[in-house]
Amino acid sequence: MNSNYEHILEPFTFKSGVELKNRVMLAPMTNYASDDETGEVTEEELAYYSKRTGGVGAIITACAYVTRDGKGFKGEIGSHQDNLVPSLQKLANTIQHRGTKAILQIFHGGRMCPPELLEDGIPISASAVAPEREGSVTPREMTEADIERVIEGFKESAKRALEAGFDGVEIHGANTYLLQQFFSPHSNRRKDKWGGDVYNRMNFIKEVIKEVRSVVENRPFVIGYRFSPEEIESPGITMEDTFKLIDFLKEQNLDYLHISVQDFWGGSIRDKEDKASRVLLAKERIGDKVPLIGVGSLHTPADVAKALEEVPLVALGRELIMEPQWIQKVEKGEEQTIRTTLSKKSQKELVIPDDLWNAIMNTPGWFPVEE
């Protein structure tokens, strides 16, 4: 093995006591492969995760909806009913059987849920404000009862993950979904305790974390939180808002924070003149209070090693879809054979579910595809 990459393979132990065998995690990537009616995992989905386990320290799953009105994707994992525990157990066991830790990402899509996936066809959110994108639908503002029900949904999903044998959960507060919608001044125009200034807009997040923690207190079980540092909308989340959110999150006894950006070294999406890395700004604000997972366009072992000089953990997404043996090849000193492009003939070999494969092939620029 190349000595420059030894740090990548060093173990890491979270505050809760869960230990990862190395510093690399599979990022949560939607795969569209669960049963669309029931939310149960399928054999196709289990095969996809099985192909990618054994090397990385942990796999953070594709998002799992915590209530039926939170379903954001076709073929999304369900965690909203007790009868899904056996399905979740299959998923956890599949990920863990070669020593990789399993973390279930729990989620509500809010106003980003496609109406055709919802039972009543009406998405819900903090306020009745539509996203600024073509074809968007104005959501229904959540009532107090809705808010309490969804908070309870996060709690119950965490309980099911624990019962199913997962090593932890990641609360999905990023990528424009419901928790971010409550924090955002664009999507949250409420005047009650769930809205208003930047601190009131954190109240929903605070209650979700508190209820999830109540399920797993004093157990070796990871609780992480994912966030997006900025929004492009105006009004929208700014880096100054996110600094306040970080100040709050780092006092919540979480095992990690996970930033969501396209490029680890990339600057602001709001101000193209601001080139400072959002990851490094977040890390500076967090200090050593809680581990930060870095992510974004880290393709090679050299890229990952450089990132790990700044943060303790990294998550890889596209890289592990193209190269499921990424870690194993680093361990063997075979990093020159790591795939960095996706052949149009490689779906079967790489065990990529049909709908994910079709999404990749029909989204120019998402993956470096070759003939």
- Predicted confidence pLDDT, tens digits, the chain (371 residues): 899 999 999 999 999 999 999 999 999 999 999 999 999 999 999 999 999 999 999 999 999 999 999 999 999 999 999 999 999 999 999 999 999 999 999 999 999 999 999 999 999 999 999 999 988 999 999 999 999 999 999 999 999 999 999 999 999 999 999 999 999 999 999 999 999 999 999 999 999 999 999 998 778 999 999 999 999 999 999 999 999 999 999 999 999 999 999 999 999 999 999 999 999 999 999 999 999 999 999 999 999 999 999 999 999 999 999 999 999 999 999 999 999 999 999 999 999 999 999 999 999 999 999 97
In the prediction, which pLDDT does 348 show?
98
Amino acid at 337: T
Joined together, the tokens standing for residue 71 give 């379903």
In the prediction, which pLDDT does 218 show?
78
CA distance 262 to 227: 13
In the prediction, which pLDDT does 371 show?
77
Q: Is the dihedral of CA 42, 43, 48, 51 positive or negative?
A: positive
In the prediction, which pLDDT does 219 show?
85
Q: Is the dihedral of CA 180, 181, 186, 189 positive or negative?
A: negative
Q: Which own/partner pairs from 304-309 qualify as long-range (CB within 8 Å, at least 24 positions apart)?
A: 304/5, 304/8, 304/23, 304/24, 305/4, 305/5, 305/7, 305/8, 307/264, 308/7, 308/8, 308/23
In the prediction, which pLDDT does 217 show?
76
For the chain, domains (ranges, CATH) are: 3-335 (3.20.20.70)
CA distance 296 to 307: 10
Average pLDDT, the chain: 97
* This prediction's pTM: 0.98
In the prediction, which pLDDT does 261 show?
98
Q: How far is CA 182 from CA 187, 193, 229, in A?
A: 7, 11, 14
Question: At how many degrees (to 10) do helices 239-249 and 203-216 cross?
Answer: 30
In the prediction, which pLDDT does 153 show?
98
Joined together, the tokens standing for residue 92 give 């956890």
